[in-house]
Amino acid sequence: MNLNLFLFSLFTFLTIVSSFMVITSKNAVHSVLFLILVFCNTSGLLLLLGSEFLSLMLIIIYVGAIAVLFLFVVMMLNVKINPLTISSYSIIPVGFSIFLLLFSILSSSIRELDLINSYYNDIKLITWVLEATYISNIEIIGNVLYTHYCILFLICGLILLVAMIGVIVLTMHQRRDVKKQQIDIQLSRLPGNVIKFLTLRS
């Protein structure tokens, strides 16, 4: 068996198993960890298909930021298992209907796009040894992003900076029982009121 095909099958199997474990785990921390495993396996699939930019973005954004944030929030909230257990048989019709809906959408997309024949005829997995001398799509996207769209890129960074400052300002709690210096009052005082002479008894 080809190594790329073996890796593709392995990543696909691990993605399906870990995504199934996300919805079946009773512990929320375990669900988030299996979600991180889903993202890592999907990133491996994208890397095998030649879209290394999307693969790295999936690792950096979803695993490095969103999934870690989920894990931090779950661990901080200390979610406990509800003692009022719900029977799993009551949610089987809802889950089965959602499964049929998603399966019908997937089958219709495969049938309309003819993905199976195009996979065996046109789509080939990337041999990375042969691709070492070519320009990657990360370099192409970087060249386009930092040349033609550099102004838009800087504007997006400025918008994110303003949003971050706004969140910090809104979440700051002003305490009114703390004495602070009032610089304008201190600077506007008169020299005659600064020095006060006292008559001390001998």
Model pLDDT for residues 67-118, shown as the tens digit of each residue: 777 777 777 776 665 555 666 677 788 888 888 998 888 888 777 766 556 5
What is residue 188's predicted lDDT score, i.e. its pLDDT? 77
* Residue 177 lies inside a defined structural domain of this protein: no
What's the pTM value of the predicted model, to 2 decimals?
A: 0.55
Type and span of the H or E element at 21: helix 3-24
Cα–Cα distance for residue pair 52/43, rounded to 1 Å: 8
* Residue 80 lies inside a defined structural domain of this protein: no
The number of domains in the chain is 1
* Residue 143 lies inside a defined structural domain of this protein: yes
Residue of higher predicted confidence among 53 and 175: 53
| Share above pLDDT 70 across residues of the chain, in percent, rounded to a whole number | 76
* Residue 151 lies inside a defined structural domain of this protein: yes
What is residue 53's predicted lDDT score, i.e. its pLDDT? 81
Whether the CB-CB separation of 26 and 6 falls below 8 Å is answered with: no
* Residue 140 lies inside a defined structural domain of this protein: yes
* Residue 145 lies inside a defined structural domain of this protein: yes
* Residue 149 lies inside a defined structural domain of this protein: yes
* Residue 184 lies inside a defined structural domain of this protein: no
Q: Is the dihedral of CA 48, 51, 53, 59 positive or negative?
A: negative
With a cut of 60, say whether residue 121 has pLDDT above it: no
Range(s) of the domain holding residue 163: 135-172
